[in-house]
Chain A
Amino acid sequence: MAAFLSIQGLRKSFGAHEVLKGVDLDVRKGEVVALIGPSGSGKSTLLRCVNQLERFQAGRVTLDDELIGYEERHTRHGPVLRAVSVRELNRQRADIGMVFQHFNLFPHMTALENIVEAPVRVRGFARDRAENEALDLLARVGLAGREGAYPRALSGGQQQRVAIARALAMKPKLMLFDEPTSALDPEVIGEVLAVMADVACGGMTMLVVTHEWGFARELADSIVFFDQGQIVEMGTPQQLFEEPLHQRTRDFVRGRVYI
């Protein structure tokens, strides 16, 4: 089956430090891919390159046969990829939901307002419709009745569930999760993972940077082991955790050496 999300030859440096050293990754439609690896290995940067929160120096990202962030131009010197306009980029970003480690809810808006903002402003939905859908989403993430709460009044787990609802409200083609449970107290991690499982079962294509191996093992279709800016190996949870091919993967999986 053809790739739905395709990352090819991605290179990214911060100054002299190369964080991504040519990454290729294909994700099928409806597939859940977990990215694991040591801290500082470039997993989050890879995720942020997909929706262009980070610009990269080489490579390309396509989603549903559409090049993200660039368009092909033909010049005298041959074809080039030129960055698209902000308006065009925003149209593409609207199709890619993102959930952050620190939730990044808008603190001056209620849970409902957080969810409704982008569907109304970006998608142009009528406010009634957006609010009804937002209430449904809140119920789906187990927060019915909390629509009037400001983020500060919610626990970390609740905030993250609102953040997931906010991303889903845009009806994205792809969801990116950047260490969604790393900032949470252990007792509320479960509720966020349950919501993510629900989203995964709904057929959403998901790319998840995580340290939650339980989640990766249970719900991911494939696991990518990432180290020093490169994909070391990729496989099913069974392969990667039980019979890793590479020594580095073996060390990581057995020793659980992450900081």
Chain B
Amino acid sequence: MILATLSPPPAAVTSPLQARPHPWRWVSGAVLLLGLAWLGTVLARSPGLQWSVVAQYLGSRTILLGLWATLWLTCVSILLGFALGTGLAMARLSRNPVLQGAAWVYIWFFRSVPLLVLILFAFNIAYLVPQISIGLSGRAPLLSMATNDLLTPMGAALLALVLHEAAYAAEVVRGGILAVDQGQFEAAMALGLSPRATMTRIILPQAMRAIIPAAGNQLIGLLKGTSMVSVIAVGDLLYSAQSVYSRTFQVVPLLIVVTIWYVACTSLLSLGQYYIERHFAQGALRQLRPMAWQRLRARFGPASVEA
């Protein structure tokens, strides 16, 4: 009897190895790309978007002034917020139970109140404290001012942002300090370093590694959070755009202008964060990972570039 079919030869050691094909990856990738392309055309062609209006206002004086106010508010409130927050973190970590408790209550309260509510409170603070006076009680005050003269809308916005930010910053800083090994405190103490030197020279530089990513989040959140001050007529980026579209009714194009600026600022901040993280990684990694552009050049660029 003769076998009708020949069985194929078995695979030998030298047979080539093949990766498993993944057809569904190609399919899902293609579907996603098609969807994005469709979305892109819809956005580009939509008459409501009015890209020419976007281009017209992107660099306009009103919008740039608003952007300046947003950046100024963000910078000042992150700096003051972290300064106050670091103090609060120290208070929470201190041995004094009153300080600890006070810091805990502060953080609990200002994390609980929505930023928008806080901004409205700060704006209306004159109802609560109509007059601010400095002097001894029972005598004529040395200095007395109406709260509304002292606290402009911008001042109120700043106050609310700083109080709000400090509560979060305190937790970020405290988390960073707790992430530092207890042995570092002991080594510093055993050497006789003062508490201040221990903090500033030994603990905080190491805590920075844990603080920076969280602080980056805070900063980006704050940048966007400043848009809430538009409700009390502070001329930030959003408010400037609103002031334009309340006249021209070009709501969507101006919101796109605002979006473009927020995205641009956030991207810059992310980039800055990347470099700051590298700086504080010193000593924590055996060798710094090459930067993203170095990796790209090592992969695609001329062979002479060091990896």
Residues of A participating in the B interface, judged by any CB pair closer than 8 Å: 51, 53, 86-87, 90-94, 96-98, 100, 102, 104-110, 117-118, 121-122, 150-153, 166-167, 170
Is B114 close to A, CB under 8 A? no
Instruction: Report the minimum CB–CB distance from B294 to chain A (whole Å).
Output: 20
The 5 A-B pairs of least Cβ separation, nearest first, read A94-B192, A104-B187, A118-B191, A98-B190, A104-B183
Count the B residues whose beta carbon is within 8 Å of the partner chain — how many?
A: 23
Report B132-150 CB contacts with A as 1/0, cut-off 8 Å.
0000000000000000000
Question: Do A117 and B186 contact each other (CB < 8 Å), given the known contacts A107-B284, A108-B282, A152-B284?
Answer: no
Choose from A86, A91, A98, A152 the contact partner of B283 (Cβ within 8 Å).
A152
| Number of residue pairs spanning A and B whose beta carbons lie under 8 angstroms apart | 78
Asked whether, in the complex, the Cβ of B190 is within 8 Å of the Cβ of A51, the reply is yes
Asked whether, in the complex, the Cβ of B186 is within 8 Å of the Cβ of A53, the reply is yes
Asked whether, in the complex, the Cβ of A93 is within 8 Å of the Cβ of B190, the reply is yes
Asked whether, in the complex, the Cβ of A53 is within 8 Å of the Cβ of B285, the reply is no
Asked whether, in the complex, the Cβ of A87 is within 8 Å of the Cβ of B191, the reply is no
What residue in chain B is nearest A101 (Cβ atoms)? B183
7 pairs, A vs B, C-beta closer than 8 Å: A98-B187, A98-B190, A100-B183, A121-B201, A122-B194, A153-B286, A170-B191
Choose from A106, A109, A118 the contact partner of B192 (Cβ within 8 Å).
A118
Asked whether, in the complex, the Cβ of A152 is within 8 Å of the Cβ of B285, the reply is yes
Residues of B participating in the A interface, judged by any CB pair closer than 8 Å: 181, 183-184, 186-187, 189-195, 197, 201-202, 205-206, 280, 282-286
What residue in chain A is nearest B286 (Cβ atoms)? A152
Which of A104, A105, A150 counts the most B-chain CB atoms under 10 A from its CB? A104
* Beyond A53-B190, A153-B286, 17 extra complex contacts between A and B, CB < 8 Å: A53-B189, A87-B194, A90-B192, A90-B194, A91-B192, A102-B183, A104-B186, A107-B206, A108-B282, A117-B201, A118-B192, A121-B193, A121-B197, A122-B193, A152-B283, A166-B191, A170-B192
What residue in chain A is nearest B282 (Cβ atoms)? A108
Question: For A152, what are the chain B residues with a Cβ–Cβ distance below 8 Å?
Answer: 283-286
Instruction: Report the minimum CB–CB distance from A113 to chain B (whole Å).
Output: 10
Choose from B181, B184, B190, B191 the contact partner of A117 (Cβ within 8 Å).
B191
Asked whether, in the complex, the Cβ of B193 is within 8 Å of the Cβ of A107, the reply is no
Choose from B187, B206, B280, B283 the contact partner of A100 (Cβ within 8 Å).
B187
Choose from B184, B191, B283 the contact partner of A93 (Cβ within 8 Å).
B191
What residue in chain A is nearest B280 (Cβ atoms)? A108
Question: For B183, what are the chain A residues with a Cβ–Cβ distance below 8 Å?
Answer: 100, 102, 104
Asked whether, in the complex, the Cβ of B192 is within 8 Å of the Cβ of A86, the reply is no
Question: For B184, what are the chain A residues with a Cβ–Cβ distance below 8 Å?
Answer: 104, 106
Instruction: Report the minimum CB–CB distance from B276 to chain A (whole Å).
Output: 14
A102 to B186 CA separation, bound complex (whole angstroms):
11
Question: For A98, what are the chain B residues with a Cβ–Cβ distance below 8 Å?
Answer: 187, 190
Which of A93, A96, A108, A166 counts the most B-chain CB atoms under 10 A from its CB? A108
Question: For A153, what are the chain B residues with a Cβ–Cβ distance below 8 Å?
Answer: 286
Asked whether, in the complex, the Cβ of B190 is within 8 Å of the Cβ of A109, the reply is no
A100 to B189 CA separation, bound complex (whole angstroms):
12
A180 to B282 CA separation, bound complex (whole angstroms):
26
Asked whether, in the complex, the Cβ of B283 is within 8 Å of the Cβ of A107, the reply is yes
Instruction: Report the minimum CB–CB distance from B212 to chain A (whole Å).
Output: 13
A170 to B189 CA separation, bound complex (whole angstroms):
13
A118 to B283 CA separation, bound complex (whole angstroms):
19
Asked whether, in the complex, the Cβ of B192 is within 8 Å of the Cβ of A93, the reply is yes
What residue in chain A is nearest B205 (Cβ atoms)? A108
What residue in chain B is nearest A149 (Cβ atoms)? B283
Instruction: Report the minimum CB–CB distance from B193 to chain A (whole Å).
Output: 6
